[in-house]
Structure 1
Amino acid sequence: MQTTITSKGQVTIPRDVRQHFGLRQGMSVSFTVEGDHIALRPAPSARQAAASGFGLIHSQRPAVPADFDVADLAVDAP
């Protein structure tokens, strides 16, 4: 498959390729240089990027100050 780059640097991804990789209008893609060629891949969505789960739960409580030290809560025993 071959396509032409427009004056604005745009290309049309052939329909068969879009369907094969599930690319849809508005999706982000990433370009990487691999040796002597360019790789185009679907960019990971926010859902995929959050595999660790960090930041998925939002608290209603105010944030803890960055300089908060939990050791300050320790009470010396008599």
Structure 2
Amino acid sequence: MEISTIVNRDGTVTIPKEIREQYGIPEGAKVYCVMNGYQLEMRVIGTKLPQSKTKYVSGFGMIKSDMPSVDPHFGL
């Protein structure tokens, strides 16, 4: 699934409704943003995986970048 969203003036990003529903992300969920090279990972605690209807577990998501991959040893 690939859905775009926009960063507003104060830096807020809305997680699209389809993703919130699929992963069971409730209002007030804690989201961790982790920088991983040129990728930004969003890790949401206390969500349910898409295939789970009843069991709540930790999950995570990743924002896809259109940037080309970079050698992790570049510039060292």
What interval of TM-score do these two structures reach, taking the shorter chain for normalisation? Answer: 0.5 to 0.7
User: Matched residues in 2 for 1:30 and 1:9: separation?
Assistant: 15
More strand by share: 2
Matched residue count = 46
Residue of structure 1 aligned with 2:37, choices 25, 31, 35: 35
Which fold has the larger relative contact order, with Cα–Cα distance below 8 Å and residues 6 or more apart in sequence?
2
- CA deviations on 1:17-54 (whole Å, 9 max, x unpaired) are 1112211101111000112110001136xxx8xxxxxx
Structure 2 unaligned segments of length 5 or more: list them.
Answer: 47-56, 58-76
Aligned-residue offset at 1:11:
1.1
Corresponding residue SS for 1:38: strand
User: Matched residues in 2 for 1:21 and 1:39: separation?
Assistant: 15
Structure 1 unaligned segments of length 5 or more: list them.
Answer: 49-78
- Aligned-residue sequence identity (percent) comes to 27
Q: Larger radius of gyration, structure 1 or 2?
A: 1
Aligned to 1:53: none
